[in-house]
């Protein structure tokens, strides 16, 4: 089997999934006024599902609804709005979230429990449910509706984030996976990501799907950081409807390994898109840690360096200040011995086992002007490795968040 990226693929590329979006008027002004802000994604067949939710103790109302519905593993649709997070309003907010899901479920003729619900946007403002009630009947769903749905979930995002991959046997497509996500600020996941939806027309055992979703999130979405803030709405939902045919993929098989690789590829692409579109960002930062004693320690170092404000500002200024990288690694809480550690920047080795190396600073400065800056850290104590993604920190980040409401 081979896994390939599908050109112009999106969340409804897999067979049996449809989506659509409308402008419900959730934005009173600003750049998204008049744009899509309410969308529905739906499987035309029964599906199995798996998902993860935010660990933030201040949670949006939809998170409480999804928390009750996800364990059954039968979600086949989601309704999502941007512009308002429906948080934190307790029982009143939960009632509105349940009403949203009910509107979508009635439109598609399925049980309310088969629909998830998500809201993203400003907190502390009551959800205008009447706008959603007026918008849902206008949503037209189709297999080409994935891109519209991806745009509807955007808030401060500058681009829609979507991708699809195909698992092939020779030239024959066995099944596909598609996905979309949103997130630009408040990105420091501790479960999954801001809002992310993955679909597949493969048939997958539900218990296996949940295991793979958690493992994949730990290696991808949980390794993205923009600003250290975790959203109250974070949700990852994966739906598998079996529309491609074939036997159900079960744990412990070669097919399970292949599906895991495809899911990892798709979620890695989405994670990179999240980091690259961080608020005010001009660079994607990729931190590759190797030589760690354990995967947990490698992930901890990679995440800490990607989050470091001093590293992020150095990247913004194209400054090859490797000292900031090493110091950030050292405060991660994982053992970092300078005498065993090496640091590279854009493929140029700057520090090796306690020794600062001579390098052409102007050459590295120029290489750092590329859209992606790759930081390599070899801890020199083991074989474990991990990758984290972040972005640089610019003055535009401050302006975006200072002006978010006013």
Per-range mean pLDDT, top range of 58-62, 77-81, 308-312: 77-81
Q: Using omega within 30 degrees of 0 as the cis cutoff, is the peptide bond preceding 88 cis? A: yes
CB of 206 closer than 8 Å to CB of 48: yes
Q: What is the pTM of this model?
A: 0.90
24 has a pLDDT exceeding 70: yes
Tokens, residue 223: 């390794």
CATH of domain 284-402: 3.10.20.340
Q: What is the mean pLDDT of residues 196-216?
A: 97
**pLDDT for position 192:** 44
Res 340: pLDDT? 97
Token pair for 203: 């048939």
**Per-residue confidence (pLDDT) for residue 183, from 0 to 100:** 79
Active-site positions read 193
CB 359 within 8 A of CB 344: no
Among 99, 85, 90, which residue's Cα sits nearest to residue 132? 99
Provide the percentage of residues in the chain whose pLDDT is more than 90.
81
Average confidence (pLDDT) over 23-43: 90
Q: Which residues contact 46 (CB under 8 A, 6 or more apart)?
A: 74, 76, 241
Q: Looking at residue 300, what is its pLDDT?
A: 94
What is the rounded average pLDDT for all residues in the chain?
92
120-179: pLDDT as tens digits: 988 889 999 999 999 999 999 999 999 999 999 998 888 999 999 999 999 999 999 999
Predicted confidence (pLDDT) at residue 95 exceeds the cutoff of 50: yes
Could you report the per-residue pLDDT of 116-126, keeping only the tens digit for each?
999 998 888 99
The fold adopted by the segment(s) 2-276 is 3.60.70
Q: Where are the domains of the chain?
A: 2-276, 284-402
| 99, two tokens | 């009403």
pLDDT of 187 reads: 56
Q: Is the pLDDT of residue 376 over 70?
A: yes
What confidence score (pLDDT) does residue 217 get? 93
| Closest CA relative to residue 178, chosen from 6, 361, 36, 391 | 6
pLDDT digits (tens, 9 = 90+) for 36-75: 999 999 999 999 999 999 888 888 999 999 999 999 999 9
Predicted confidence (pLDDT) at residue 330 exceeds the cutoff of 60:
yes
Answer for the pair 58, 93: CB distance below 8 angstroms, yes or no. Answer: no
Asked if the domains 2-276 and 284-402 are classified in one and the same CATH topology, the answer is no
Place of tokens 């968040």: 401
Residue % of the chain over a pLDDT of 70: 94
Three-class HEC string of the chain? CEEEECCCCCCCCCCCEEEEEECCCCCCCCCCCCCCCEEEEEECCCCEEEEEECCCCCCCHHHHHHHHHHHHCCCCEEEEEEEECCCCCHHHHHHHHHHHHHHHHHHHCCCHHHEEEEEEEECCCCCCHHHHHHHHHHCCCECCCHHHHHHHCCCCCCCCEEEEEEEEECCEEEEEEEEEEECCCCCCCCCCCCEEEEEECCCECHHHHHHHHHHHHHHCHHHECCCCCCCCCCEEEEEECCCCCCCCECCCCHHHHHHHHHHHHHHHHHHHHHHHCCCCCCCEEEEEEEEECCHHHHHHHHHHHHHCHHHHHHHHCCCCCHHHHHHHHHCCCCCCCHHHCEEEECCEEEEECCEECCCCHHHHHHHCCCCEEEEEEECCCCCEEEEEEEECCCHHHHHHHHCCCC
Report the range of poorest mean pLDDT among 23-27, 121-125, 399-403. Answer: 399-403
CB 46 within 8 A of CB 76: yes
CA distances from 243 to 13, 75, 174, 247 (A): 12, 15, 11, 11
Q: Are 226 and 185 in contact (CB under 8 A)?
A: yes
pLDDT of residue 185: 54
Cβ(99)–Cβ(85) below 8 Å: no
Q: How many CB atoms lie within 10 A of CB 178?
A: 25
Residue 359 pLDDT greater than 80, yes or no: yes
Q: How many CA atoms lie within 13 A of 213 on its CB side?
A: 29
Q: What is the mean pLDDT of residues 299-317?
A: 94
Residue 232: pLDDT band (50, 70, 90) is: confident
- Residue-wise pLDDT for 261-303, tens only, equals 999 999 999 999 988 887 778 899 999 999 999 999 999 999 9
Over range 70-84, report the average pLDDT.
97
Per-residue model confidence (pLDDT) at position 230? 65
């Amino acid at each position: 089997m081979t896994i390939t990226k599908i050109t112009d693929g999106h969340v409804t590329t897999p067979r049996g999934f449809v989506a659509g979006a409308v402008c419900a008027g959730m934005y009173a002004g600003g750049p998204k006024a008049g744009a899509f802000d309410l969308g529905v994604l739906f499987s035309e067949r029964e599906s199995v599902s798996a998902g993860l939710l935010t660990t933030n103790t201040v949670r949006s109302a939809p998170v409480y609804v999804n928390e009750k519905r996800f364990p059954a593993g039968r979600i086949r649709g989601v309704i999502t709005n941007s512009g308002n997070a429906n948080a934190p309003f307790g029982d009143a907010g939960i009632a509105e979230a349940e009403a949203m899901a009910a509107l979508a479920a009635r439109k598609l003729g399925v049980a309310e429990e088969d629909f998830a619900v998500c809201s993203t946007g400003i907190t502390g403002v009551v959800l205008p449910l009447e706008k959603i009630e007026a918008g849902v009947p206008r949503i037209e769903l189709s297999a080409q509706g994935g891109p519209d749905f991806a745009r509807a979930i955007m808030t401060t995002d500058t681009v829609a984030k979507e991708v699809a991959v195909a698992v092939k046997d020779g030239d024959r497509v066995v099944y596909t996976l598609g996905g979309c996500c949103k997130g630009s600020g408040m990105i420091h996941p501790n479960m999954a990501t801001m809002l992310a939806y993955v679909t597949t027309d493969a048939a997958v055992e539900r218990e296996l799907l949940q295991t793979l979703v958690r493992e994949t999130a730990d290696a991808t979405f949980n390794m993205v950081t923009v600003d250290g803030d975790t959203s109250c709405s974070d949700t990852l939902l994966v739906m598998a409807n079996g529309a491609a045919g074939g036997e159900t993929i079960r744990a412990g098989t070669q097919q399970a390994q292949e599906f895991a690789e495809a899911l990892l590829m798709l979620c890695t692409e989405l994670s990179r898109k999240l980091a690259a579109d961080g608020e005010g960002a001009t660079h994607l930062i990729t931190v590759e840690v190797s030589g760690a004693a354990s995967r947990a320690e490698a992930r901890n170092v990679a995440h800490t360096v990607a989050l470091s404000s001093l590293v992020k500002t150095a990247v913004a200024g194209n400054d090859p200040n490797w000292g900031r990288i090493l110091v950030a690694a050292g405060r991660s809480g994982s053992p970092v011995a300078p005498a065993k550690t090496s640091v590279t920047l854009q493929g140029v080795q700057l520090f090796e086992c306690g020794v600062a190396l001579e390098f052409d600073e102007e050459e590295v400065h120029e290489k750092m002007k590329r859209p992606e800056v790759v930081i390599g850290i070899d801890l020199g104590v083991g074989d474990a490795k991990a990758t984290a993604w972040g972005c640089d920190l610019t003055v535009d980040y401050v302006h975006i968040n200072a002006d978010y409401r006013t």
